[in-house]
Structure 1
Amino acid sequence: MSDAESPLPSDLDRNAVQTALVEWYEADHREFPWRRTDDPYEILVSEVMSQQTQLGRVVEAWEAFLDEWPTVTALADADRADVVAFWTSHSLGYNNRAKYLHEAAQQVVEDFDGEYPQSPDGLSELMGVGPYTANAVASFAFNNGDAVVDTNVKRVLHRAFAVPDDDVAFESAASELMPDGKSRVWNNAIMELGGVACGKTPTCDESGCPWRQFCHAYETGDFTAPDVPTQPKFEGSRRQMRGRVVRILGEYDELTLEKLGPRVRVDYGGKTGEEWLRGLLADLADDGLVELAERDDETTVQLRR
């Protein structure tokens, strides 16, 4: 796809977008044990388990599975009935996934001399390994994957860059954004963004979303997405809060954050509340609407005259 056909905004600074996301992820992210390994067997087990189970519950099952069958050879040699029984006892969803995982292990041992293929295409030859799982394993085990495009990633791209709700557009946008040769960190980071900050109910400021300065939804207050079809109400939206700040400041010469916050939100308070308010005011300052100043160890804000 040419630049003219790109689904991303023409003025988007891709380097800045990439740097912001990777730095945010590397500074702090959810710790899962499979993120601390590049063993393709261990990563494939985590990916298959995660297909129908919340990640928090997968950790215990994943560790127990690897205690029982620590290598691909051990799994290939196992009795399939035992593998299925484990799957059932840990409530990991459809039993056929356990069967496929066992068959894939046998394929690796018998057809690939115990070594996993390193490309998405090669991994797709394994039993029960679809395109998404193959790409995930190629990315996280070998740093050799394409850009991941799942429901979370689509939601992020649609909100942040107004990418149309179209699979081809999502694939193109995701590929354009991913830095060359960095599929491991990039795919982890963008999925983390969708899982932590840009869920169905976004927590932009609370999660310190690194794409707020670029984000169409953050700017407009419209957080609709392919899997979030209902237009959020104006009540409580960022647009409403921006307008409320401007209206309140119009009634005063200036206010400290401590006095402004409760006038904007009745539930204002604490460090999180102050961070949220500072983010809101930073946006308004960037738009030339307010001015902030530090006086006597307090931050004051007033309308820009």
Structure 2
Amino acid sequence: MPPSVCSTIARAPAGIRGRLVTAVTTSLFPALPSPARAARLRTRLLQWYGENARDLPWRRTSDAYAILVSEAMLQQTQVATVVDYYRRFLKAFPDARSLADAKEEDVLALWSGLGYYRRARSLQSAARVMVTEHAGHFPGEEEAALDLPGVGRYTAGAVLSIAYGLPQALVDGNVERVFSRFFGLDGVSGSRELVAQCWELAELLVPQKRAGDWNQALMELGALICTPRQTDCAECPLKRSCQARKEGRVSELPRPKVRAPAKAMEVEMLFIRRGPRILLEQRADGQALGGLWQLPTRAIGSEGEGEGEGASGLFAEEWPGGLGAEDGPDLGRLRHGIMRFSIRARLRPGTARGRKGSALAWFEAEQLESLGLTAMARKALAGLKDWPPGTD
């Protein structure tokens, strides 16, 4: 709702303020149901959720820390992938204090394979603030929650509503899609305008009771029924009131965001082995994936160098001192996507001579299971016929 309209309503006499809010919201959102109808829609959606919700481990707890962990992991990652990571992470770090006291390398090792490692660092930073300022608990007020590192409006709303039962709204990609179609909002997915409209609607519709279930029901509807493609409108509990369905525009809304094509990059990786050990390189803290380990890697070409982050921004252009590639056939080739790059990688046999940098270290195969390895390194090692030792 525009700030000027909000201020006008705030100055209005109490007796007519409610009618003004109703009139304005109805004009902004013609499909907005009346309070009585909204209550019926909530009942219908909550009943559907009770009968169809997936049995996920973070839905079996009201512990705010555990829910925070799940929300951090679920950002940009599929639910099926997160389940096992979530269980392992909570087994190692069952509360905020244990996470706050952990070594970063141990946290990153348990996060390895989920990607977007900044989430892990922010989660640990949030745990430290929870310990030092909130006795190890997630704060129960939105303002304090938003002060935690990595906690934005969505995450705060999720934890406060699900763990504490507070009437806090939330909007994620699923909720945006449900609202865009249900209310017929003709906006671009992820655009500031559409997201703002969805937040206004979310705050208008969130119930005083069962807010956590309501929020999860909206997200579940977007994940299972109102999906980006192959929408199952016949099974939707809200189908009779859906504006996009009435107009035959379900597949059009929200309008897709135009994405820039991925830039091509070529890299070489070295496989350097001494008996049962291989040599790995730790990425610098200032880089993307900082702190993780990789096979020694150099970039040999990239589109758009000099236009911001070219090849040198992701990988060095020279081998670390004392390392080099041997003559002979490649050990393997692979493709990998990271950030906005589409990477073609060659895995070459390598040698290590003379003095090596402090970012290099030797590891045995069994150590790699608990090491924070980049996904590309894991993919490369998985493709080798004679690694780990003892395999054909």
Report deviation, 1:217. Answer: 2.0
Q: Does 1:186 align with 2:214?
A: yes
Distance 1:61 1:54 in 2: 11
Structure 2 letter corresponding to 1:4:
A
Match of 2:238 among 193, 203, 211: 211
- Secondary structure of the residue that 1:213 maps to in structure 2? helix
Structure 1 letter corresponding to 2:124:
H
Q: Equivalences for 1:9-24 in 2 at 5 Å?
A: 9=31, 12=34, 13-24=37-48
CA contact (8 A) 1:18 1:178 kept: no
TM-align CA RMSD: 1.9
Which residue does 1:4 correspond to in 2? 23
CA gap of 1:119–1:181, structure 2 versus 1, over 3 A, is farther
Relative to the length of structure 2, the TM-score reads 0.55
Comparing 160-169 with 107-116, which one deviates more in the overlay? 160-169
Which residue does 1:146 correspond to in 2? 168
Match of 2:102 among 78, 87, 100: 78
Structure 2 letter corresponding to 1:157:
F
CA offsets 1:36-89 (integer angstroms, 9 cap, x no match): 11101101111111112101110000000111111211111211111112212x
Q: Does 1:155 align with 2:174?
A: no
Q: Does 1:111 align with 2:133?
A: yes
Distance 1:11 1:32 in 2: 31
Q: Equivalences for 1:1-305 in 2 at 5 Å?
A: 2-6=21-25, 7-9=29-31, 12=34, 13-88=37-112, 91-165=113-187, 166-201=194-229, 202-205=231-234, 208-223=235-250, 224-228=252-256
Distance 1:70 1:219 in 2: 48
Distance 1:124 1:10 in 2: 29
CA offsets 1:185-225 (integer angstroms, 9 cap, x no match): 110000111111101121111xx211011112222321121
Structure 2 letter corresponding to 1:36:
R
Report deviation, 1:8. Answer: 4.4
Which residue does 2:376 correspond to in 1? none
Distance 1:121 1:8 in 2: 32
Higher strand share: 2
Structure 1 letter corresponding to 2:241:
F
Residue ranges of structure 2 left out of the alignment (5+ in a row): 2-20, 188-193, 259-392
Distance 1:225 1:61 in 2: 33
Distance 2:55 2:245 in 1: 27
Give the paired residue count.
226
Structure 1 letter corresponding to 2:163:
A
CA offsets 1:145-193 (integer angstroms, 9 cap, x no match): 5221122212111211223533332222222222223320110000111
Question: How many percent of aligned residue pairs carry the same amino acid?
Answer: 38
Which residue does 2:274 correspond to in 1? none
CA offsets 1:22-47 (integer angstroms, 9 cap, x no match): 11111221111101111011011111
Structure 1 letter corresponding to 2:242:
C
Relative to the length of structure 1, the TM-score reads 0.69
Comparing 30-39 with 112-121, which one deviates more in the overlay? 112-121
CA gap of 1:137–1:19, structure 2 versus 1, over 3 A, is same
Residue ranges of structure 1 left out of the alignment (5+ in a row): 231-305
CA contact (8 A) 1:120 1:145 kept: no
Report deviation, 1:10. Answer: 5.7
Distance 1:227 1:184 in 2: 28
